Structure 1
């Protein structure tokens, strides 16, 4: 029996986000350190494939198709030889794909008019309270806390 209520599922982000701008910054002949500076640490770096770094990214959101992107970087010694992978989104495209907020058309103004500011100030001006009279001293006398020397007990 189908139901209209579904449990909430959290967004799952795994791996390294690599954008088109980052991939365009890669040049053959770069050192491993330079590649790491641009792309970050690889998600997969195998002992058996020391000349290859893999950057994998997956993003799963309820109600949307799963995104997955891969980029493989190949070295010869300590020098970048080549790289290959999926078509990568630009940074702007990637951020737009993450935005799950609904578009409501007109954006409300983020500035208050002079009349609104004046109205707010009038409503929130504290009224100075009338001074309270000082508390009257009690008419009760209390015995001293310490006994006086020589007093009988």
Structure 2
């Protein structure tokens, strides 16, 4: 077979491998997770009100991903994530200012915090972890020991067995 024909077949085969998600349906290449920008949720958007200062908006949303010296009254928050096993996500939020106060807020449809976490969780078991103990669990906890206050008899008593050590220098 001529070398030119062999080389063209090899390159054609490489191109088809790169366009598929797996090789022969068995081997899946590693895809690096790419997260860029600020996550802005419905809860964060609800906390922003017209008239807020730039510092207040930055405290709620974080620093903007894009600022432009030619459009100083516009902040753009762009968020993208590519994660293996999760759908690609991209959202844009624009905050417009009039001087130091916020004038308007424009955004794509924003997820709630719970929906966002569920959308990127690739190992989801469908269970939501409990973040607070029930009354029965609180009552079953052991009672903590009383804190030792400096200057009391309990604080000055040594803990554990006492040891005697030989002197560090020879006695003359």
TM bracket (short chain): 0.5 to 0.7
Q: Aligned residues, how many?
A: 106
Q: Which residue of 2 aligns with 1:94?
A: 116
- Residue 51 of structure 1: CA displacement? 0.5
Unmatched segments (≥5 aa) in structure 1: 106-153
- The higher radius of gyration belongs to 1
1:104 to 1:92, Cα distance in 2 relative to 1, 3 A: closer
CA distance in 2, matches of 1:104, 1:71: 30
TM-score of the aligned structures, taking structure 1 as reference length? 0.64
Out of 33, 42, 46, the position equivalent to 2:68 is 46
* CA shift for structure 1 position 104: 8.2
Of residues 14, 32, 37, the one that matches 1:15 is 37
How far apart, CA to CA, are the structure 1 residues paired with 2:60 and 2:84? 31
Report SS of the residue matched to 1:51.
strand
4+ residue segments displaced more than 2 Å: 62-65, 102-105
Which of the pair is proportionally richer in helix? 2
Q: TM-score, normalised by structure 2?
A: 0.57
Does residue 67 (structure 1) correspond to residue 89 (structure 2)? The answer is yes
Counterpart Cα distance in 1 of 2:65 and 2:126: 38
**1:123-138 equivalent positions in 2, closer than 5 A:** none
Structure 2 segments unaligned to the other structure (5+ residues) = 1-16, 18-22, 128-172
RMSD: 2.0
Say which structure, 1 or 2, has more relative contact order (CA 8 Å, 6+ apart): 1
Distance (whole Å) between structure 1 residues aligned to residue 73 and residue 38 of structure 2: 19
